[in-house]
Amino acid sequence: MSTSSSTLLLRRCVNSSAMKARIGEAPRVRSLLCSQNHRQLDQKRSFLTKMIYRASQNVMPNISQTEQVALHCGTIGFDREIFTGSPSLAGLVEKYSPVLTAEESRFLDVEVSHLCSLINDHDVVTQKDFTREAWDYMRDAGFFAMKIPKEWGGKGFSTHAVSQVLCKLATHCFDANATVAVPNSLGPGELLARYGTPEQQEYFLPRLADGTLIPCFGLTGPHSGSDATSLIGSNGVVEERDGVLGVNATFKKRYITLAPVAGVVGIGFDLKDPHNLLEGDGEEGFTVALLERGHPGLRMGPRHLPLNNAFMNGTVEGENVWIPMDSILGGRGRCGFGWHMFVECLAEGRGVSLPAGSLGAARVVTSAVGAYARARKQFRVPIAEFGGIQEAMALSASDGLMVVASTDLMNAIVDNHEAPMVISSIMKQNCTERGRRIVERGMDVAAGSAICRGDKNYMAQGYMSIPVAITVEGANIMTRSFQIIGQGLTRCHPHMVELINSLSSNEPDAVQIFGKQLRAVIGHGATNFFHSITRGTAGSFSTALRSKTAYKDGDKLLEHHENQLLRLSANFAVTADLCFTLGGRLKFEEYLLGRLADAMGSIFLGYSVLHHYSRKRGTIEGLEAVTEHAMLRLEHEAQQALKETADNFPGSLGGVAGIVMKAACFPLGSFTRNYPLPRDELTREVSRLVTTPSEIRDMFQENLYMAPEGEQHQIAELVRALPVCVEADKITSAIRREKRQPTQAEDDVLAHADALRDALIQVDVYDYATSAEAEDGYVR
């Protein structure tokens, strides 16, 4: 057949109607084949999702009703950003800025200073009580009503103002700090303003505002330990008596601050309604009742003696106490609502009040001990020139900056009407722990002058108070090894709450929701794995090539350390995702949870320090050096915690998870584990800034109580002596270098400095240690 004949035959075939039909059907056939392939793929995916769903249900732990409630209490904010792996420093700076009003500043300068002048810390500890004058002034000046709204006679102060008041009190008397803290955080005043019935508000709030009633909160029982929500031994049953509905309650509380002097107590108990008398108006569960002293069956008053502290602390007990429904905080409809109230209290108590005490300790050590280190001489040299002292003072200064910065940020977060449970736990554990180290170093430097009790000793009572802060509202051991990450993984992970809810859901689309969230978790992990590698590689090179004086440029300081925190946040997020391979076993892996809490805490503190620097840069000379010292330590601590996590990842897949984690966090091996601790030159510079007059010292001396000149007050005398001692040291160096005698003016300065030094190193001496020794005829 010729070529032209073949072409003609082909054209006829193509032009035939049958062939045209077949060609026209081809796209539809392809579409049907694709749809069939997609259905098969969806079926396989659905089958696989169902298998994973069932397996996950088997390994996930049962979530108790209390845990379910906790997952929905409080708020989520910057803590979730850390879990996403990409927090925003710019967002923090834009959103949160702590400020004081003119009224609040005046209260700090006038009323707080006057209260401090009425208190002799040594006498308070010795007598185990304040004077009547001090108690009356606290009532009359509104110290117990700072958070009560003005319309009810309170101060209506911001959280930041309350924090600064507590800080200033802590610089003079920790017992005053504790006494004022409770009514403004754990007291029921603010809860009454939010949840109280109109009748409760009208009765209680004016009396709380004018000090007629001092409040306390009865929550912790003998079996609670660090779980304040454990209400073992505190129970109530709904009953009806003489046609009146109420609660028959039995409770046994201990460690209740202000119980011996309180006029009203908020009692937390587990409410049961076996006969359904509430009829849907309120429910069973954690409930809070308001009882006044003298209520039938209520016993308040026996004291505990917490170490050597004098603040009022004691028990609240009662058996078969009849509580009318109008005594339930918020009324009958708020039965079972106590968890939400408690969480709001806890966010301020843990995140604000306790860190304020550590902030006070930081201000005392950097200001007073820093001055003492310059005034005290050994071998004719100020001990501030000794390397060991410099190391202690520099560490205290950078720890102090972390506490200052994180406290400012947390105060602003709470003032923004947020109640972040995870961040408040981080604040409590980190600030009180760093406060403990600050005080311990201060004791080491002050040495003998910090040991002998008396009016001249400004360190001893802070040292005795630190264990209280470490222990209360969740002991730090439990907070670190259980609460922070145990709650954070489910509460703050961007996809985990929805995934967990789908596992316990009976809805028909639960598997589909689970599959969607599971894919989101996998995508989240993949994104952070990529970010960890890229940021880790870039960050390692920038750290290796960075000049040791680069921190002096504020822009470069911020840029470098923000990049390192972004890297560490991605590392943390990857590790958090890997934790879910442990299933229900995760909540028992406390070594792992503790190390991740260390990493997350260091990351949060790092962002706090950069937030502080962003607001204060250019206004405080020397801030760059202290910020650099703090950031280097925090980055080192976070990376070390992550490395130890990778080395010890638990579970049957722990070895694999550890390898994946190391690949993500340390892609170039040891080269990407290169966050160094501060160099000696930087440590020496930071120490110099807190042991000589500087703007850094001025920053730490904000809201530090100092008695007026002429009154005996060791801290004030140390602070005022520092410039004289520094000037004398300069004169001594000059005359030695120039090999000459001092001029008359120089000799006067030297003599003045010597007299001050001699006075400042003296300690208190007593003829008798006890009143019994002073009696005639006393024989040992």
Q: In sequence order, what DSSP letters do the residues of 587-609 get, joined into one string?
A: GG-HHHHHHHHHHHHHHHHHHHH
Last residue of some domain: 691, 725, 754?
Answer: 691
Distance CA 216, CA 187 (A): 5
Nearest Cα to Cα of residue 160 among 205, 118, 107: 107
Dist. CA 449–CA 15, nearest whole Å: 110
Place of tokens 């193509």: 14
3-state helix, strand, coil in the chain (%, to 5): 65, 10, 25
CA distance 130 to 403: 29
Residue 70: its pLDDT value, please? 66
Q: Encode pLDDT of 518-557 as tens digits.
A: 888 888 889 989 998 999 888 888 888 898 899 999 999 9
Residue 31 exposed, middle or buried by CB count within 10 Å (0-12, 13-18, 19+): exposed
Instruction: Identify whether residues 596 and 556 lie together within a single domain.
Output: yes
Q: Which of 448, 395, 435, 409 is nearest to 177 (CA)?
A: 435
Contacting residues for 16 by C-beta, under 8 A, at least 6 apart:
none
Could you state, in chain order, the average pLDDT of each consecutive group of 10 residues for the chain (780 residues)? 46 50 54 54 62 69 64 84 94 96 98 98 95 97 95 95 98 97 85 92 96 92 68 86 94 94 94 94 93 96 91 96 96 90 76 95 98 94 96 98 98 93 95 97 96 94 94 90 89 80 76 82 88 89 88 96 96 92 85 97 98 96 98 97 95 89 89 88 98 98 94 95 96 93 94 95 88 79
Question: Both 193 and 133 in a single domain?
Answer: yes
Does residue 117 share a domain with residue 257? Answer: yes
Domain end marker among 338, 370, 403: 338
Kindly state whether residue 593 falls inside one of the protein's structural domains.
yes
Contact 293, 264 (CB under 8 A): yes
149 burial (CB, 10 Å; 0-12 / 13-18 / 19+) is middle
* Separation between Cα atoms, residue 657 and residue 666, nearest integer Å: 14
Give yes or no: residues 665 and 541 share one domain: yes
Contact criterion met (CB below 8 Å) for 354 and 431:
yes
Domain co-membership, 647 together with 583:
yes
Is 446 within a domain? no
Are 762 and 656 in a shared domain?
no
Q: Which residues pair with 250 in a beta bridge?
A: 235
Q: Which of 338, 365, 385 is the last residue of a domain?
A: 338
- C-alpha 335/C-alpha 323 separation (Å) is 12
**Helices 132-140 and 174-181: crossing angle, nearest 10°?**
40
Based on the fold, state whether residues 601 and 741 are members of the same structural domain.
Answer: no
CA-based R_g, the chain, Å: 32
Q: Indicate if the alpha-carbon torsion angle 480, 485, 488, 493 is positive or negative.
A: positive
Helix, strand or coil, per DSSP, at residue 428: helix
CA triple 558-561-562, angle to 5 deg: 75
Question: At 302, is the secondary structure helix, strand, or coil?
Answer: strand
- Spell out the SS3 assignment of 111-165: HHHHHHHHCCHHHHHHHCCCCHHHHHHHHHCCCCCCCCCHHHCCCCCCHHHHHHH
* DSSP structure string for 707-765: PPTTS--HHHHHHHHHHHHHHHHHHHHHHHHHT-PPPHHHHHHHHHHHHHHHHHT----
- What CATH number did the domain enclosing 327 receive? 2.40.110.10
Compute how many other C-beta atoms are within 10 angstroms of the C-beta atom of residue 650: 18
Q: Count up the domains in the chain and report the number.
A: 3
Report CA-CA distances (Å) from 98 to 76, 93, 620: 19, 11, 17
In a domain, 751, yes or no: yes
Look at residue 26 and tell me if it is in a domain: no
Catalytic status, residue 283: no
Regarding whether 324 and 176 lie in a shared domain, the answer is yes
Distance (Å, whole) CA 154 – CA 205: 8
Q: Report the alpha-carbon distance of residue 97 to residue 415 in Å, rounded.
A: 10
Closest by alpha carbon to 409, among 176, 79, 103, 631? Answer: 79
User: If we measure between CA atoms, which residue out of 273, 272, 268 comes closest to residue 288?
Assistant: 268
Kindly state the greatest CA–CA separation across the chain.
145
Structure tokens at 431: 């600030």
Query: Are the C-beta atoms of 760 and 377 separated by less than 8 Å?
Result: no
- Does residue 146 sit in the same domain as residue 284? yes
Q: Which structural domain, as residue segments, surrounds residue 562?
A: 65-90+476-691
Handedness of CA 437, 442, 444, 447 (dihedral sign): negative
Amino acid at 241: R
Sign, CA torsion 554/560/566/572: negative
* Residues in a beta bridge with 241: 244
Please answer whether residues 401 and 491 qualify as being in contact, where contact means their C-beta atoms are separated by less than 8 angstroms.
no
Cα angle 420, 147, 700 (rounded to 5 degrees) comes to 75
pLDDT in tens, 12-57: 444 555 555 555 555 565 555 455 555 554 555 566 777 777 766 6
Residue 531 forms part of a structural domain: yes
> Kind and range of the H or E element at 512?
helix 510-545
One-letter identity of residue 616: K
For residue 429, tell me if it sits in a domain: no
Among 205, 174, 171, CA closest to 188: 205
Please state at what angle helix 623-647 crosses helix 590-616, rounded to 10 degrees. Answer: 160
Residue 581, number of CB atoms within 10 A of its CB: 18
718 within a domain of the structure (yes/no): yes
SS3 of 679-704: the string is CHHHHHHHHHHHHCCCHHHHHHCCCC
User: Are residues 630 and 483 part of one domain?
Assistant: yes
Look at residue 516 in the predicted model and tell me its pLDDT.
Answer: 84
Neighbour count for residue 69 (Cβ, 10 Å): 18
Q: Among the options 385, 473, 589, 624, which is catalytic? A: 473
DSSP for 478-496 reads HIIIIIHHHHHHHHHSTTH
Tell me whether residue 368 is in a domain: no
At 575 the pLDDT is 94
d(C-alpha 182, C-alpha 169), whole Å: 13
Residue 321 CB partners (closer than 8 Å, separation 6+) = 248, 249, 250, 251, 291, 295, 296, 297, 298
How many Cβ atoms are within 10 Å of 155's Cβ, its own excluded?
24
Residue 658 and residue 759 in one domain = no
Assess whether 521 and 609 both reside in one domain.
yes
**E strands present in 526-573:** none
Query: In angstroms, rounded to a whole number, what is the distance separating the alpha carbons of residues 371 and 750?
Result: 17
